[in-house]
Structure 1
């Protein structure tokens, strides 16, 4: 089983990223489509493939607060196989060396995964697109 995570450099790969996010966020989790597609041009996107089949996606972008990891999505058939871990590791390794403040908004059931990479919950639980989240910040 060959799992590969690569930075997206081609429009057709970006289409695959968007297709995965549509299935996971819009179709499965009922996120409003208009909330799902924002900040695409300023983001660095990643596509995970397993044996050549697109199976996961994520992105990072620079914000006024620091560097934000976002839109981690793994197709249902590929969950529990390390795709999420591989996406997080690749996104973190791609950040610029001056990325001293790295954060994300985690759905509750993903918090333990992010914690393995040194992310710690901060602040109160909040709702985003109808789903409960915590902000998590990477501790160096």
Structure 2
């Protein structure tokens, strides 16, 4: 299967990204809906579309600090029925490629149970600190 990753530019794409985030973060991971959507000015939102299904199945966000040249990847969400197809890896690579010329460092907070995925993508923990955000253990 082929995943096409694009930067959200239209209200229709934003609605698709929101629906994926709603399913994964609100319904599955039980985050609070009120904190899920923000208007951060440096946020770049992405969707991944399964080309064969013609269906958006992945959403992600990158916050870029152009002054510090840091990109914070967050809210990476893959619909449950599409997990295990390497779509998460594809979207991570696309996010990095899209912002690579603007930043020197990529960082991300991760749910503790998702750290293995991010390690497979080449990320590593900088310490053993675990914190709770919106009721979820993260590192």
Tell me if TM exceeds 0.5: yes
How many Å separate the matches in 1 of 2:81 and 2:122? 27
How many Å separate the matches in 2 of 1:42 and 1:98? 12
CA-CA distance at 1:121 after TM superposition: 0.6
Question: Residue 103 of structure 2 aligns to a residue in which SS?
Answer: coil
CA-CA distance at 1:108 after TM superposition: 1.8
Q: Taking structure 1 as the reference length, what is the TM-score of the superposition?
A: 0.87
Q: Taking structure 2 as the reference length, what is the TM-score of the superposition?
A: 0.87
Aligned to 2:136: 131
Q: Which aligned segments of 4 or more residues in structure 1 are displaced greater than 6 angstroms?
A: none
How many Å separate the matches in 1 of 2:134 and 2:92? 22
Q: 1:111 aligns with which of 108, 115, 118?
A: 115
> Structure 1: 5+ residue runs without aligned partners?
135-140
RMSD: 1.7
Structure (1 or 2) with the greater strand fraction: 1
Q: 1:92 aligns with which of 91, 96, 111?
A: 96
User: Could you say if the C-alpha distance between residues 46 and 98 of structure 1 is closer, same or farther in structure 2, counting changes exceeding 3 Å?
Assistant: closer
* 1:13-65 C-alpha deviation (Å, 9 max, x unpaired): 01100010001101111111111112454311110111211111101012476
How many Å separate the matches in 1 of 2:121 and 2:102? 18
Q: How does 1:40-59 map to 2 (within 5 A)?
A: 40-50=40-50, 51=52, 52-59=54-61
Q: How does 1:66-81 map to 2 (within 5 A)?
A: 66-81=70-85
